[in-house]
Amino acid sequence: MKLFIAITVAGFASCIAEETITFKGSIERIDPALDALISPSTNVEKLAEGFNWSEGPTWYEGAVLFSDVPENIIYRWKEGMKSAEVFLKPSGMTTPTAGFREQGSNGLSRDAQGRLLVCMHGDRRVARWEKGTFTSLAEKFDGKKFNSPNDLAVRKNGDIYFTDPPYGLDKGNASPLKEQPFNGVYRVTPKGEVSVVTKDVNWPNGIAFSPDERILYVAVSDGKAPRIMAYDVQPDGSVAGERVFFDAKKAGKPGDKGSCDGMKVDARGNVWATGPGGVLIVSPEGKLLGRVLTGQATGNCCWGDDGSTLYITADMFLVRVKTLTKGAGW
Residue 150 lies in a domain: yes
pLDDT at residue 12, as a whole number: 33
Q: Give the other-Cβ count within 10 Å of 41's Cβ.
A: 7
CATH at 213: 2.120.10.30
Is residue 18 assigned to a domain?
no
Nearest to 208 by CA among 58, 78, 324, 314: 58
Residue 210: which domain range?
26-322
- C-beta atoms surrounding 17 within 10 Å: 15
> Is 13 part of a structural domain of the chain?
no
Does the residue 58 lie in any domain? yes
Q: How far apart are CA 167 and CA 259, in angstroms?
A: 14
Quote the pLDDT of residue 4. Answer: 32
Structure confidence at residue 6 (pLDDT):
32
Tens digit of pLDDT at every position of the chain (330 positions) = 333 333 233 333 333 344 568 999 999 999 999 999 999 999 999 999 999 999 999 999 999 999 999 999 999 999 999 999 999 999 999 999 999 999 999 999 999 999 999 999 999 999 999 999 999 999 999 999 999 999 999 999 999 999 999 999 999 999 999 999 999 999 999 999 999 999 999 999 999 999 999 999 999 999 899 999 999 999 999 999 999 999 999 899 999 999 999 999 999 999 999 999 999 999 999 999 999 999 999 999 999 999 999 999 999 999 999 999 999 999
Record the pTM: 0.93
Judge whether 14 lies within some domain.
no
Query: What ranges in the chain are assigned the alpha helix state H?
Result: none
Asked if residue 218 is part of any domain, the answer here is: yes
pLDDT score, position 17: 41
Q: What's the confidence (pLDDT) of residue 21?
A: 84
Name the DSSP letter for residue 174.
G
Find, among 283, 243, 286, 280, the residue nearest to 263 by Cα: 280
Determine, yes or no, domain membership for 10.
no
Buried b / exposed e over 234-270, threshold 16 CB at 10 Å, is eeebebeeeeebbebeebbeeebebbbbbbbbbeebb
What is the C-alpha to C-alpha distance for residues 91 and 106, in angstroms, rounded to an integer?
9
- Give the whole-angstrom CA distance, residue 8 versus residue 163: 30
Inside any domain, residue 184: yes
* Overall number of domains in the chain: 1
Instruction: Give the whole-angstrom CA distance, residue 129 versus residue 196.
Output: 24
| Contact assessment for residue 217 and residue 272, using Cβ atoms and an 8 Å cutoff | no
